[in-house]
Every structure is written in structure tokens, then in C-alpha cells.
Amino acid sequence: MQTSFTPEQLADPHVAESEKILRKCVHCGFCTATCPTYVTLGNELDSPRGRIYLIKDMLENSRPADREVVTHIDRCLSCLACTTTCPSGVDYMHLVDHARAHIEQTYKRPFMDRLIRNLLAAVLPYPGRFRLALHLARITRPFAGLLAKFPALRPLQSMLDLAPAAVPPASASARPGERAAEGEKRGRVALLSGCAQPVLDPGINEATLRLLARLGVEVVVPKGEGCCGSLVHHMGREAEALASARRNVDVWTREIEKGGLDAIIITASGCGTTIKDYGHMLRLDPAYAEKAARVSALAKDITEYLATLDLPQMESRGLTVAYHSACSMQHGQKITMAPKQLLKAAGFTVRDPAEGHLCCGSAGTYNIMQPEISGKLKARKVKNIEATRADVIATGNIGCITQIATGTEMPILHTVELLDWAYGGPKPAKLSA
């Protein structure tokens, strides 16, 4: 694609990077076929190619974002299916990241939109506040129907709909500290405790800690780590996202220098995609660029790390698993085979649901901010998963677990919970019910 930026515009490194990305797009439109919003809405402006045109026009003219651009960029799930499909290697992720930051800086959103975004940014990344909010949601849930009458309040209704009926008690797995390996030590890793996941489903990191200990891996949950920043990053709130990234880079760098780390383990693929991008996010910060690149290189999804440990083949469990590959896993991190190979080696029969490339509609806070499109995608995803007639669903991202669980009676677990069970851990409670 031809571009016409001036040398003055290209002096801004963010614009210079976006210009390079834009020039790679050859308008072929292959990406439209796998874009969930284009497939759902059928509007070119809700396709990757349409959004690329909108972003190009906005940046080339140094224009503030307008309502049309904001509408179509807000509808993008950042699922990155387009980057998997694109034959020209267009780096849509960093282009839309730039567009979102530009929107945040130049566009004044309506009052309710600002209020809800501020609320989400102030609550979700902090486990204590999030737990309190979930308790409040339980109490106020009976009024969710009233909110539906006011379109501007729909996101609040979605929050109540997504909140679990019971909030699990706080788990020791989230506490900072070292967990010793059992038997001969074969590795040392840091585990990202995370923000929303340990509140919604602490069993995921509990299973991870148990499994890693049995496999001889020492695990540290470092003091001071926090939210990876992806939530605010996808809202275009760059200063907050970079502050989260710097804090975590400092914490993990201390661990690397203290005891050495073979990997930084992440059990939510949405967070993994962002942490693997810290090197890029902080590339312009001379004090952090190198440290952040080192952290990104060490970041591994739990299944990616387990795949290096050569786990033994187990007898069949007689249980069929529908594997839902989160977008951040398959498109963001390009991890497609490891989770399924691990499940098969652990004795499970694995089935791939149809249209596996399409997002379930969770996408961070998308299911709160865009409930209608998200609801359509969830229904489509659940239909495809249920058609597998599997006994259980496995996936690697808490957002997908929360989203899909509200649309089906099938039990849905994190992949590592099944692996922990297969290799000597307790049977997951959701399978005992």
C-alpha cells in the first residue's frame, strides 16, 4: 500500500513503525474471511482491511480520531486471526495498538463510556478490588434486568452476567514465595500469579504449582509482580500499560539476577501475548529496552514449558476433550500443537471444534464493552464445541473459560488442570460435580 507521510510525521517513531506496517498491506482481503467481526457484521469497515484504511487515513492526515474510526476500532477484538491469515506478514497487532493509543489521546468518549472504562481499569487489574467487586456483583445481580433497559448501561449488565455465582476464597498459590521442587531439581521458573485469574479460578495456578513441583521444577512467585498491563494496553492507556510492564520487568530481572530463571510461566494466554511483547513495548526506553527483551524471551505459556519436559505417555482416561484454542494462544503466540499433544500424551482423546480460528467473543473486556457482538460469537463458539460431543472443554485462557462457561453446561477447565490430574494430582472439582 502506498503511503504519503511527511518526514516530520515520520520523525515520530510510532508513526514510522505504523508506516512500515501499512506499506506491507497489498489490499488482497484474504484476512476478511477469518475476521470474526467481518464474518458477523459483513461490513468492510469491520474487517482488518477496512480498519487498516481507517487507521492509515487518520494517521496520514494527523487527524484526531472521530466517531467512525472509534466505532470500528472498538469493535476489533484484537484476536489477531488476521495476522495468522495475512500472506504479506502485516503486523496488525502493533498497528491497532498505535491506533488505540492515538484514539485515547485525541478522542473524548461519551460520559458513560469513559466511566465504565475508568471503572474497569481501576478494578480488574487489582485482585483485592476485583474480589470485592465480584461480591458486590453477586448482591446486585437481581437488578441486572433493569440495566438492560438503558443501552448506555448494557456493559454494567454484562459485568453482572459474567460474575460467578460464588467467589472462591483467596488461595495460597497467589502468595509470594518459593515453592521447592520434589525430588531431583530440574529447573527453576517464576510463575505470574496474575490479577483476575487467581480471583476467578485459583485452581489453575494451584494445579500448575503442584504439577511443576512433582516434575522437579522449583517455582517462585516473586513479590511485587502484578497485572501484565494487557487490559489497559488494549484500551490505549499506554502510560498505565508501560508502568505495569516496567514493574514486572524489574521484579523478574531481580529474580533472574538472584537465582536464575529458566522461564517465566504464564497460565493465561492473553497475559502471555502481552508479556512476550514487553520487549517491543519498551523498545524506546533506554533504561528498560534490554531488560524487557530478556523478560519477553523467557516468557512461556505453561504448555510451551511443559512440552520441553518430556512427559511420559499415559494410559487412556476414557475422556474426550474439546480443545478450544484461545486467540491469544493460536494467533498471538502461535502455540497450536503443544497443548493438544500434551493432552493426548496424558491419555485424553482430543477433538478440534469447527471454526477453531474464530474468537469466542471474550477478548479481555470486549464481552463487557461490546456485548452484542460478543454474545453472537459466544453462541457460535458454543455450538461448534457442543457439536464435538466431548465430555469436557479445555483451554488456556481464563477469559475464554469465563465466557464459554456462561453459554454451556459442559465443564470447562484449563489444560493444566487436566494435565495435573493425569500426572498424579487430584481430580478437578468440576469433573466430580
Query: Which one of 48-56, 146-154, 398-406, 415-423 is the stretch in contact with ligand SF4 (CB under 6 A)?
Result: 48-56
Query: Which one of 15-23, 83-91, 149-157, 177-185 is the stretch in contact with ligand SF4 (CB under 6 A)?
Result: 83-91
**Residue 51, C-alpha cell as written in the block:** 480498519
Residue closer to ligand SF4 by CB (options 92, 323) is 92
317-356 footprint of ligand SF4 as x/- string (CB under 6 A): ----------------------------------------
3-state class (DSSP) for residue 414: strand
Report the residue from 26, 297, 337, 379 that binds ligand SF4 according to the rule CB under 6 A: 26
Q: Is 33 in the site for ligand SF4 (CB under 6 A)?
A: no
Q: Is 266 in the site for ligand SF4 (CB under 6 A)?
A: no
Q: Is 39 in the site for ligand SF4 (CB under 6 A)?
A: no
CA dihedral 386, 390, 396, 397 (to 10 degrees): 30
Angstrom distance (rounded) from CA 90 to CA 20: 9
**Residue 292, C-alpha cell as written in the block:** 524487557
Q: What's the min distance (Å) between Cβ of 226 and ligand SF4?
A: 26
Q: Is 42 in the site for ligand SF4 (CB under 6 A)?
A: no
- CA 92 to chain centroid: 16
Whole-angstrom CA distances from 395 to 161, 220, 239, 300, 301 are: 21, 24, 31, 16, 12
Handedness of CA 86, 92, 93, 96 (dihedral sign): negative
Report the residue from 18, 78, 173, 365 that binds ligand SF4 according to the rule CB under 6 A: 78
Q: Is 205 in the site for ligand SF4 (CB under 6 A)?
A: no
Query: Which one of 49-57, 105-113, 173-181, 286-294 is the stretch in contact with ligand SF4 (CB under 6 A)?
Result: 49-57
Q: Is 100 in the site for ligand SF4 (CB under 6 A)?
A: no
3-state class (DSSP) for residue 8: helix
Report the residue from 19, 51, 382, 393 that binds ligand SF4 according to the rule CB under 6 A: 51
H-helix segments, 165-298: 197-200, 203-214, 230-233, 238-259, 269-275, 278-281, 289-298
Q: Is 69 in the site for ligand SF4 (CB under 6 A)?
A: no
Q: Is 27 in the site for ligand SF4 (CB under 6 A)?
A: yes
Q: Is 308 in the site for ligand SF4 (CB under 6 A)?
A: no
Residue closer to ligand SF4 by CB (options 34, 158) is 34
Q: How many helices (H) and strands (E) does the chain have?
A: 26, 9
Angstrom distance (rounded) from CA 161 to CA 367: 10
Residue closer to ligand SF4 by CB (options 95, 306) is 95
∠ CA 203-315-265, rounded to 5°: 35
Query: Which one of 79-87, 143-151, 231-239, 257-265 is the stretch in contact with ligand SF4 (CB under 6 A)?
Result: 79-87
Residue 350 main-chain phi, psi, to 5 deg: -110, 135
Residue closer to ligand SF4 by CB (options 222, 361) is 361
Angstrom distance (rounded) from CA 249 to CA 259: 15
# residues contacting ligand SF4 (CB under 6 A): 26
- CB hemisphere CA count around 158 (13 angstroms): 23
Q: What's the min distance (Å) between Cβ of 1 and ligand SF4?
A: 8
**Strand arrangement, sheet containing 177-179:** 177-179, 217-221, 187-191, 263-266, 299-301
Q: What's the min distance (Å) between Cβ of 101 and ligand SF4?
A: 16
Q: Is 31 in the site for ligand SF4 (CB under 6 A)?
A: yes
Please give the residue ranges that form the binding site for ligand SF4 (CB under 6 A).
25-31, 35-37, 48-49, 51-52, 76-82, 85-86, 88, 90, 92
